[in-house]
Amino acid sequence: MGKQSNGSGTVPCVRTLKDQVHAIYSADNKAVADELTNLLVAALRNGDSDSQSRLRRFFDLRLVPVTDLDGRELDYDLLGRAALFINGENANRVQTWISSYKASADNSDRRSLHETILRNFVSSRTAVEEMKLQLVESRTLRADAGSKCDVLREMIKSISGRAEKLACNCRIVNNCWTSTAAVDVKTRVRAITST
Assign 103 a pLDDT band (cuts: 50, 70, 90): very high
* Range 160-179 average pLDDT: 73
Assign 8 a pLDDT band (cuts: 50, 70, 90): very low
**What pTM value is reported for the model?**
0.43
Least confident of 82-86, 98-102, 120-124, 159-163: 159-163
Asked if residue 61 has pLDDT above 80, the reply is: no
In whole angstroms, give the CA distance from residue 69 to residue 75.
Answer: 11
Over the stretch 120-147, which tens digit does the pLDDT of each residue have? 999 999 999 999 999 999 999 999 999 9
Which residue from 44, 123, 119, 142 is spatially nearest to 131, judged by alpha carbons? 123
In whole angstroms, give the CA distance from residue 58 to residue 21.
Answer: 11
In whole angstroms, give the CA distance from residue 51 to residue 151.
Answer: 52
